[in-house]
Structure formats: C-alpha cells, structure tokens
Structure 1
Amino acid sequence: MKSPYYGIPLVAALVAGQAAGATPSLRIIGGQDASIDQYPFMAGLVMRGDEKKEVFCGAAVLDSNWVVTAAHCVQGDLAEDFEVFTGVDDLGSSNGQRIAVSRIIVHSNYDESSTENDIALLQLASSTDAVAIRAATPADAGFFATGQAVSVAGWGNTSTTSEVFPMLLREVDLQVTDFGSCSDAYDGLADSQICASVPGGGKDSCQGDSGGPLIARTPEGPILVGIVSFGQKCGAATHPGVYTMVSAFGDFLSSRGDVETPGGGDDGESGTGGAGEGMFENWIPDEFNHVEAGGVLAHEYSTFMPVLTGEQGEAWVGFYNGNQHGVTISNLHVRSSQGVMVVDDQCSTGELDAEGSCEVKLTWTPEAPGDLQAALVADVHDGASSHAIELPLQGVAVQSIETGDYLKGEYYSSEPEAWVLDNAGSPDGEMMLSHDLEDGETISLFVDTNPSGAIEADADATLPIEDDDLACDGFVFGDVECDDSEYTDIAVTLGFQYHAPDTRVKLYADGVLVAEMPARAGWHSEQVELIDYSLLRLEFEAVGSNNGQRKVYFGGLMMSETPPVSSGSMDPEDSDSVPLKGQLGR
C-alpha cells in the first residue's frame, strides 16, 4: 500500500508511504517532555500483544468508551488487531490502562490518496478512566484561526535525520498556518484540513505521531482542534504539518452515540469488528469480512481474492436478520468504479423473516492488476427506523508470474512485473522470487499448489471448525449449510524458505490466516502445519524504515502429510514429503 507524504498508512510499525516529489516522514520535532497531567486525554495505539514502546499512532479520548484517531492508522484492519492505552506518559512504566478495541468506524469518505476525511472512531471494549477532551466545533473557530497558538503531543520521532523514538510523551507548541499558502505547498488541500507550523520550521509532529491530538487551550480548558495526518519531511520550513480539522466532523463524531453494539457502521460510516462481539457472538469466524447494522449481519463468505485479469470472478455476500421481527432490504448496489456487478439479488425481493438469511452474488472482471476498491451498500428497514449497511468488498486482480521450470506451482501477483527470479544470496544457489519492498508497502504473493488453469479458493471447504467455534443453528453460508460434522481437518505440513528484513510475513491458506512470521534479516526455514488447501497467499508487510526499500525473497516450497521432524527443518528422507522445489533445513 502506497500513500502520499508521511503518516499514511501508519499500521503495525511506523511505516512511511511514498509519493512523487515527496520525502516521506511520519509525523515531535523541536519540542519538550510532557506529562499526562498536561494531556490527560492522550492515548496510544499498539497492535494487540505488543509492548507499549511499540506505539505506532496517537489518539485522543472523547469519552469513557471512545477515542478518535487518524483513519490511515486503522484502515483495512480488524478491531481485534488493536489495543489502546490511556493514562500514561512514560511507555516504560506500568501505569495507565490497556484496553482492547471492540469496533472501528472509519469515515466513509476517507480518501487514502488525497488523505481527505482522515478520521476514525475506536470503541473501547471496556471503559477508560482517562479524562476526555472536548472536540472543537465551528463556534470555536476563533481559537484555531491563522496565527493562533496550538500544541501537539505524541511519542513520535524526535529527529529529522534518523529515528529516535522517546519513551516519554513529548509536546511542541505551534501556530495555525495560513490555509491558502499551506494548500499551495501541497498542490491543494480540502477545507476540512488545517495546517500548523512555526516560521522557519524546526518544530513539528513527526513519524509515529499520526492520529494524535492537535489542541488549543481556552479559558474553559483544552479543545481538540486537529488530528495528526500527514506532511512532507518533519519540521520543514516550506511544508507545514497537515491535520484533520475536527470541527468539520461534528456529525461523524456525534454518530458514536447511536452505536450500541460492535460491528458495521450506521449513518453511512464503515465499520470493522471481530467475531465474538455484539449480538452475533460466535457466529462469524474472523476470516469472514462482515459488518452489522440494525440487527442485520452482512458477511462476505466468498471473496474476489484473487481474480485473474481478464477473467470473471465471483463473490457471495450473505445477510442474516438477527432480530425477532422481519426487515426489508432495499437500495442494494455496489459502490465501485471497477465494474463489480450484482448479478443475483435474493435479498431485495421481499421481507427478510426474523432469523432469516439471504444472499447476493457478485461478479468482477478486472481489466488490470491491483486492489479492488468497492463496497456493497444497502438500506435496512424495520418499520420504525432505517439503517445503512456498507460492507467493503475484499479483492485483488492478479497476473501470472513467469517462473519457468525453476519453481513448482503457479505464482500470481497484483504487481507481477515487480517479482523477478533471482538466486543472489540463495542458501542453496537455486532460484527464488525476489521483490524490492518499499517503506510502507504491503504486497501479496499467491501460489496455486494445484494448478488447473484457473485460481480457485473456497474458504467454506477448508475452514477448520471446532464444536464451540460457530453457533450453527441451521444458518446457511451460501449453498453450504453450517454443519460442524462436514468439516474435516487434513494434516498437511508446508515448508519454505524466506529472507525478509524489516518485513512481517503472513501466510493464508484458502483465505484463512494460518501463520505469522517475524522479520528475518537472513535466510530462514519455516514450517507450518495446516489443513488441506489449494491456494496460498503470502503477505509481506514492511514494518520499519530501511532507507526506502528492502529486498524480500521467497522459495523452497515443500509439502508433507506427516508431522514435521523438528521445529526448524524438514528432511525429505524422513517423511512422506513431496518437494515442490529444492530442500529445506539448512
């Protein structure tokens, strides 16, 4: 994923994006230490299970159950991926609270390329004791007019030439910059953005501060004026920092009062939530993309992941009415400019009974490789009220990668030209696929281990189900009735080699996340035991700064129907394994 300037996306590990003519950085330069007493509303985001010092974005507490941050910090991830800490200024201390996130609401008009509407709400799984900050309104405009004093705080980079991330909270005092000159510097900004800097530069927010609060201090107390969004370099005299102007999003911020259960967003906002939440607890495994509104669940149980360019792919979305009364679904359509079409709508034909289900079939014939940008939207009516459902659709268009006779299986990518056959540095001298991964980039490599001329992936047929994992109760996923007895685990061990410095690797088998591997600066042999599968997806995500790029390698596939010999290697002579290329266990 690539984004303009700095601060976007800022997920997992302080990664910068790239734009033509921009030297990316992510957003406190020229400031000083601050205490939680000065910023009692300060919050930080970490990936679930990470230490506090791995904070990658800031946030601000709006009330005991909600924090606000930048959309680019959380876009595309599940609520269960994140935790929020509050009430702490020293990341090395045990003070404060650490709270799981139950729901994410990203502004429905967030534009990843222009950074407009870069704002998101996070609902906390339990209440925080932290003091909340009041969000600015248009009536407060005098406090953030041009030249007015503002301050920003965070745990972001304190250096303009390297990476120095403090353990103590930092703050810097700035001034609101003339909007016209700032907009000109960036070739155009939206009216919902605001800029801050100091004459001559040298003071700014920086890498790791994204999502944090820009505040103005009033006689009645501090108010939240902006949210750290993006900029060019840190502390540059020519380019002030750009912030999402909070006063322009009053309706969006007040919509959290209408939310009672985690899941999808109402009022045209998009939401992501994990399974085991709200009224649909234990209904939908995390592998299924889903949202909820008005007691109706929409879940994408078959996705466009992936589709060969020039060929037609299919996806299915199921709707389930969890209410004890009927509802009607109307205005169902796809919001997309990439040609995704509804070809079979069984949900808008009449009333959907209480605890009833229906499904929608979609098709997509991509013209060029790349990610799908589309959402299925619909209105749900129960006679007394209406609710909007917006389900982002998952999909990627891919092309085949030429591997000749070096690698077994079929390889595909949305950036096929970026992958090359290379044996430089290979531990056994054999060919590997390599790719230059830029800071801030995430790329997937698909491997069809059972080529048949087309890519097929059926999560229903391979999803491992335990008795307590899914409350079936006759629920239907497409044309497959939920029945625990139909799912069988077939033991398969996959072995491969990879070399991925500053890069996190995730392995999916037929759409199901089965393993996460840490960054490896040298060659590493990995083994994963999983169920029977046909399509693998390896996701490479840059998790640190590496002077703009790093080279990742992948190869050495091997399968075995017997348990691995050891945790670090697999010997073909000691198992009934079928090597796809070379041998592992170096």
Structure 2
Amino acid sequence: MKYIMLIIPVILLLNITVVQATSVRSEQILRQLNTDMQDAPGTARIVGGSDTDPGDYPFMAALVNVSQQLSTSLTVNSLSYSSSPFTFSPTGQVSGEIVSCGLAGDVCEGVENRICLIERGEFTFAVKTLNCQAGGGLGAIIYNNVAGSVNGTLGNAFDGDIPVVAISQQDGQALVQLQNANASIEVSVLSGSTQNARCGGTFLGGKWVLTAAHCVDSEFSNQLRVNVGEYDLRDGADQAIPISQIYIHPNYVDNEFDNDVAVLALTREVDAPSIELADAQTTEQFAATNSIAKSIGWGGRIGYGVQSGDGPTGNFPDILQEVELPLLTNSQCRQIFAESRGISSSQTGVTDQMICAALDFGGKSACQGDSGGPLFIESNNGPLQVGITSWGIGCAVAGYPGVYARVGALLDFINATRFGMGITGDSRFTNSPVGNPFRQTYTVTNNSQNTATPVFSLSNSTDFQLISDDCNVLLAGQRCEISIDINAASPGLKQTSLTLTSDIPDMPTNGMRIQGFAVASASTLRNAVGPQNAAITIFSGGDRSWRVNNSGGVISGNIDDRQQSILIAQVVGEGRLEFEWSVSSEENVDEPSEPFDALYLIVNGEQTDFISGDVGFTQQSIELPEGTHLIEWSYRKDPAASSLEDSGSVRNLMFVTDSTDVPQPPSSEPPAQPTSSGGTSVWILLFLGTAFMVRRQKSTVR
C-alpha cells in the first residue's frame, strides 16, 4: 500500500457561483455526478489531465530548480540512441566499453576506464554516479525502470566529475544485452538556463506565495526559486525569483501531512493577478454539495495502484495541466478510505485540516509533482482556493481520494504570516527523561506594517515554562526569539498550547501546539542494553516502552500506526559511545531515503541517521564532547502497512572514555536544542533515482 504526496494536474472546472449552505447531497446524486463526469465528451484522463490554455491561471506558481541548459549524445557501436541530461551533470565527452552496474548501490566493480550502465531505482542518481566514479568509471548511463524517459537531477551539491546521461527503459534493457560494446557519451552546455519544477504554488499578491509544507521542509529549500504565472516550463527560467523566507505551519506534522501549508516570501514583489482564499464556512458549503473543483500542476500523468511494487508515475509535462474533481465532505472521505483499507474512519489520517476530492470510479487524480498546487472552485467572482495538493494513496485509484490541505482551516496561520505576527519553530519537543530540563527556541516575526507588542501565554505551566524576556516591542518586519523549557515530573505525552496575541486590535496572529514525550527511568533494561557504566543512564517510554530482547539486547515496544517507541541513553562526559543496532520493518524500496517504518537515531535533538527494512546488527559509534548528552533510538511507524518483525533493537551499548571521573548531570540549566527556523529545518530535498520528489511511496507526497 502506498501513500503519495501529490502534485496534481487538473482539468477544466465548471464556472459556478458560491453555493449557499445546504444539506449533504444524497449518495445517489453524487454517483450520478461521477457518472456524468466520466461520460462527458472531451474530458481528459485524470492522472494526466489536459493542457491548460496560456493565461488561464496567472496566479499559478512553480517552485523550480534553475540550472545550466545541457545537451547530451549517446552512441553505442556507432548507433545513436536518444538521451537526456541530468541537471547539475558534469560536462565532458568520454568513450569506453559498457559494463552493467545494476542499481549501483555500492561501488561498481570491473568498470575502470569503462562506462557504467545503471538501472534507476532505490538510490539517488548522485549516489549511483559517485559509485560508478569510485570504481574508476569514466561516465554513466542511467536507464529508466518504468516505461518512458528519465527526467532527473544530481542535485546542486553534487561533487562528482564524470558525465551522466539518461535513457529510456527500453533502450537500457537493450544495452544490457550489449555488454562490452563500445559507447561514447557527451554532455555539453547550451546557452541560457533551464528549470525543473519540484512543486506548485499559488500567488497571493505582493511578495507572497502559498504552497505545501512538505515542498519546502528541507535545509536546501532556500535554493529553490519561484516562477509566478508559469505555464510552459521550457520558458522563463531566467525570470524565476529567489525565496527570502520560508514560513512553515508550526504544527505541520511531516509524517502525517497534517497542517501541510507553507507561505513563501520572495525577494521582491510581483505584479500579477492573485488567487482568493476560501474561508472555512464557504469551504464547508462547497464540500457539503460536492461541488466540482479544479486542480492544476505539472505532476506525473501515469496512474498506478496501491499494492507493493506498483508505481511510480511518469510522463511529466512541460505544459500546465488541469483536471476536474468533485469535493467530498471529510465524513465521506474517511468512509471511502476506511472501506477501501478495511480500517476504522478514525485511522484514515484525514484530519479537520484536510479536504478531499475524488471520482468514485478513479482514473483521475493528482500525482507526484503536483504538490503545493491549488484545488479551487471557479465562482462567478473568480477562482476560490479551497485546498493545497498534499497526499494520497496510489494515483487515480478508485476508493482512494486525493487529500489536500484545507485552506479555510489554515487561514489564521496564512494571514498572521502575511499581515500580522506569527511563531515559527518545532512543534515537537525533543523527547527527554523525566526531570531532565530541556529548552527549545522559537522565532516571532512581525510581518505587519505596524510596531506591535507580542503577548504570550501557555496552557500547561506545570511541565512547560515560557521565557520571553527578550521579545517585547517589535518594529514592522522585526523578529525576536522566545524559549520554552520542559521539565516534566511524570512520564508520558506532554502538551501545551502557546498563544500569541498583540496589543493592536484585529492584528492576525498565530500560536502553536507543542508536545513531546517525557520518558521514565528504565533500570530493568540497563543490564540488557550493555555493560554497566556510571556515565550512562537508560530511559524508555513513548507510546510503548522498550523491553528486554530474549535473544540479547533490548527491543522496541509493540506500537501501532503513527506511534513511536523511545529508548534514551543520558551520557555524561567526553568520549565515544558505541552500540550495535538492527531493524526488521516495512521498507520503502523505491525511495529508501524516505522510509515507511524505521529506527531513528537522534543525538541531542538532531536526527543523525536511521535504518529501515531487514537490517542485521551493525556497529555504530558517536564521538561526544564534554557535557551531558541525550542519545535517542526511536522506532516509528507511518500510517499504513507493517511487515517483518516490525521492531528495532539495540545491544552492546558502551561508553569509552579516557577519564575515570564521571561528572554529575546538571541540575538546573536546560540544554538548548538546535534552533528550528520553521522554514528550512526538516525535509531534505533528496533527488532520488526518480523523476519526482516523493516524501513516501506509501503515504505519497504529491
């Protein structure tokens, strides 16, 4: 089963007025609506949608990577093959024998002074190329693992220096049969720049663009540019505008796609038509009558199913696409998902911050590449945006609606960011031991035109303490920082609501919910996890605690979807922490850097590594400076299937230090977690061996 974050292409919408609130349309009428849309002449196939006309949607924006325009050529045994470039590929011309390197997940063997032939999948294009180069390869040919050509990037941080070209699956499979044939590849630079769309967005006016949080939840997102009014991706790369600031909803949940919204501030204002945003009440009216909405984007146009091995999509267009879909109420959406997956409505992951759209019979849907684009209604007063393309299961599968962030439920954040004061930062507290003070920092920004005084309050002052002494009067455009300490006296999930108001009446503001686990001492695990050491104290908790593993070491608790089992070692002093870890879990074999279920390693609040799938015990070590450190192993499950043993394990934990004196843990000053700016701290734009950005294959980012 596959969840996918969407970037949905959409079809022409009916021009309708905003409907008055009515009772929910009967199922019979809804079925008739779906039938009418299916049989309507001229209606495009869903996943691919149909071409829009130039100028139809001037508010549409593309989030793009801009790079040099490259040209490629490939000849094998003097026969020319069609090829295409990877963005950020080194240039050059090389010749040599072809040697197959499979998926190139490890250093290629037998390729010295030869050309690597590599299949797409599992690993990033950059990793594949570097493994070819590490084996002595002169260049690389990467062929698709599905029908059609490859359209990908090595990433602007790629540091290899061998040329790389892409070819189709059919040509690649033919070349596999031509081992040791003589080949020549060339990559050269053309004049001008080219752009590669990563997500969609909508222009709100001035310098502001609306998109999905998962599109920009990355430390590399500030390298993206935005093309407002984009239509044909083959033109206009030089007009793309840099991003000056990224504001992600403070309660965005990256593995559940809740509050999947972000607002981008561009480096300059744009003179272009903007889209209007539908409020909560209007959105409810549209959903209650199953109004026809439109979705637009540059996403893949090949649908696929929900079984393991289905997908990915392909056939990405240059021309903006459109498709029509009926809106669903959240009750209808949850019921459809529940029946399709054999679960309860409460387990579907569809929250009040989401809205769904789908045809009963499938065949039309958003897909990877459409994320961040709009779902909107064509009213007599112009387009009204009700949703932001977010996620789905499969692409265009009957019984699996596309899911969008509900704009009307997110207006407080959007308006506070554009016109008032807002808070950005990590809504999840780093899991910490009971009685162990821990501090996180948050940024408050005044985006209004007025000087204002922020006023803060916390709903839970027992486990949390607010420190806002340095955040008083804010001039227009000014920022300040506040801190929140957690020092829980009892184990369990700890939550608080941080409220922000202003001394200026009617100024938009947004607050945030903050939560994290306080975990209890786990002395019963101490002997099992590794040799005794006074510098190490063991804690465990979360939704289920870890337990002693009968085969050695400790093993994570039996958790359900969207839960985590936490093991923490508090380590005092300078030295090297060594351990072995393993995992037996559901694996995302198509996009291994975006796991389904996994065992994560978090060092002092920073996620540093994870393992997923069927991984036996492997040795790891962490160099720790002087001080007190929190080392966390967290087994987490996404909202879908399970496989294998569904657990993570740790054993042979030991701390190696030259000092025999072990300092005592601090008793008052909380350690500070690395600051989260709320804009570029979580999602890394990994350009995998795929032509689109996918947060997950199960819960698919669109």
TM-score range, shorter chain: 0.5 to 0.7
Q: Which letter does structure 2 place at the counterpart of 1:67?
A: V
Which residue in the other structure is 1:398 paired with? 519
8 Å contact 1:205–1:235 — kept in the other structure? yes
Q: Distance in 2 between matches of 1:29 and 1:439?
A: 34
Q: Which letter does structure 1 place at the counterpart of 2:264?
A: Q
Q: Distance in 2 between matches of 1:92 and 1:410?
A: 58
- Say whether residues 1:213 and 2:363 are aligned partners: no
Please give the secondary structure, in 2, of the residue aligned with 1:373.
Answer: strand
The Cα shift of 1:399 comes to: 3.0
Which residue in the other structure is 1:419 paired with? 546
In 2 relative to 1, CA 45–182 (structure 1 residues): closer, same or farther, beyond 3 Å?
A: farther
- What is the aligned counterpart of 1:552 among 622, 645, 648? 648
Which residue in the other structure is 1:66 paired with? 208
Which residue in the other structure is 2:184 paired with? none
Q: What are the within-5 Å matches in structure 2 for residues 249-398 of structure 1?
A: 252-258=413-419, 266=421, 269-272=422-425, 305-308=431-434, 314=437, 332-336=456-460, 340=463, 365=488, 369-370=492-493, 372-379=494-501, 381=503, 390=511, 393=514, 395-398=516-519
Please give the secondary structure, in 1, of the residue aligned with 2:527.
Answer: coil
Which residue in the other structure is 1:163 paired with? 311
Which residue in the other structure is 1:530 paired with? 624
In 2 relative to 1, CA 247–29 (structure 1 residues): closer, same or farther, beyond 3 Å?
A: farther
The Cα shift of 1:334 comes to: 1.0
Which residue in the other structure is 2:190 paired with? none
The Cα shift of 1:83 comes to: 5.6
Q: Distance in 2 between matches of 1:411 and 1:184?
A: 40
Q: Distance in 1 between matches of 2:513 and 2:610?
A: 27
CA offsets, 1:323-348, max 9 Å, x none?
A: 9xxx9978643134x95465x98959
CA offsets, 1:521-552, max 9 Å, x none?
A: 64443333331243333355879999535543
In 2 relative to 1, CA 224–106 (structure 1 residues): closer, same or farther, beyond 3 Å?
A: same
In 2 relative to 1, CA 558–127 (structure 1 residues): closer, same or farther, beyond 3 Å?
A: farther
Q: Distance in 1 between matches of 2:654 and 2:484?
A: 36
Larger RCO (CA under 8 A, 6+ residues apart): 2
- Say whether residues 1:198 and 2:359 are aligned partners: yes
Which residue in the other structure is 1:173 paired with? 323
In 2 relative to 1, CA 230–520 (structure 1 residues): closer, same or farther, beyond 3 Å?
A: closer
- Say whether residues 1:151 and 2:295 are aligned partners: yes
Q: Distance in 2 between matches of 1:91 and 1:541?
A: 41
Q: Distance in 1 between matches of 2:202 and 2:211?
A: 9
In 2 relative to 1, CA 387–208 (structure 1 residues): closer, same or farther, beyond 3 Å?
A: closer
Which residue in the other structure is 1:120 paired with? 261
- Say whether residues 1:497 and 2:580 are aligned partners: yes
Please give the secondary structure, in 1, of the residue aligned with 2:623.
Answer: strand
The Cα shift of 1:447 comes to: 0.9
- Say whether residues 1:182 and 2:332 are aligned partners: yes
The Cα shift of 1:137 comes to: 4.3
The Cα shift of 1:407 comes to: 1.8
Q: Which letter does structure 1 place at the counterpart of 2:519?
A: V
Q: Distance in 1 between matches of 2:234 and 2:574?
A: 43
8 Å contact 2:197–2:298 — kept in the other structure? no
In 2 relative to 1, CA 386–184 (structure 1 residues): closer, same or farther, beyond 3 Å?
A: closer
Moved more, 86-95 or 529-538: 86-95
In 2 relative to 1, CA 531–9 (structure 1 residues): closer, same or farther, beyond 3 Å?
A: farther
Q: Distance in 2 between matches of 1:412 and 1:509?
A: 15
The Cα shift of 1:81 comes to: 6.7
TM-score using structure 2 length: 0.47
Moved more, 161-170 or 183-192: 183-192
- What is the aligned counterpart of 1:104 among 222, 236, 247? 247
- What is the aligned counterpart of 1:241 among 395, 399, 402? 402
The Cα shift of 1:393 comes to: 4.4
Q: What are the within-5 Å matches in structure 2 for residues 84-103 of structure 1?
A: 84=224, 86-87=226-227, 102-103=245-246
CA offsets, 1:84-106, max 9 Å, x none?
A: 45459999999686956733241
8 Å contact 1:61–1:131 — kept in the other structure? no
Q: Which letter does structure 2 place at the counterpart of 1:493?
A: R
8 Å contact 2:47–2:395 — kept in the other structure? no
Q: Distance in 2 between matches of 1:508 and 1:553?
A: 15
Gaps of 5+ in 1: 11-27, 260-265, 273-288, 291-299, 425-429, 451-489, 563-574, 579-586
Please give the secondary structure, in 1, of the residue aligned with 2:418.
Answer: helix
Q: Which letter does structure 2 place at the counterpart of 1:104?
A: Y
8 Å contact 2:436–2:487 — kept in the other structure? yes
Q: Distance in 1 between matches of 2:469 and 2:407?
A: 38
Moved more, 391-400 or 123-132: 123-132
Q: Distance in 1 between matches of 2:527 and 2:276?
A: 61
CA offsets, 1:296-341, max 9 Å, x none?
A: xxxx9xx774143xxx565668899999xxx9978643134x9546
8 Å contact 1:78–1:104 — kept in the other structure? no
Gaps of 5+ in 2: 8-43, 66-87, 89-123, 126-151, 156-195, 337-344, 531-535, 663-702
- What is the aligned counterpart of 1:227 among 388, 392, 404? 388
Moved more, 165-174 or 385-394: 385-394
Q: Distance in 2 between matches of 1:79 and 1:132?
A: 30
Which residue in the other structure is 1:570 paired with? none
Please give the secondary structure, in 1, of the residue aligned with 2:432.
Answer: strand
Q: Which letter does structure 1 place at the counterpart of 2:335?
A: A
The Cα shift of 1:208 comes to: 7.1
The Cα shift of 1:197 comes to: 1.9
Q: Distance in 2 between matches of 1:441 and 1:305?
A: 13
8 Å contact 2:580–2:651 — kept in the other structure? yes
Please give the secondary structure, in 2, of the residue aligned with 1:536.
Answer: strand
Q: Distance in 2 between matches of 1:543 and 1:528?
A: 25
Q: Which letter does structure 1 place at the counterpart of 2:498?
A: L
Q: What are the within-5 Å matches in structure 2 for residues 559-578 of structure 1?
A: 559-561=655-657
Provide the identity percentage.
18
CA offsets, 1:71-128, max 9 Å, x none?
A: 5777xx68777764545999999968695673324177x7999988x35233246459
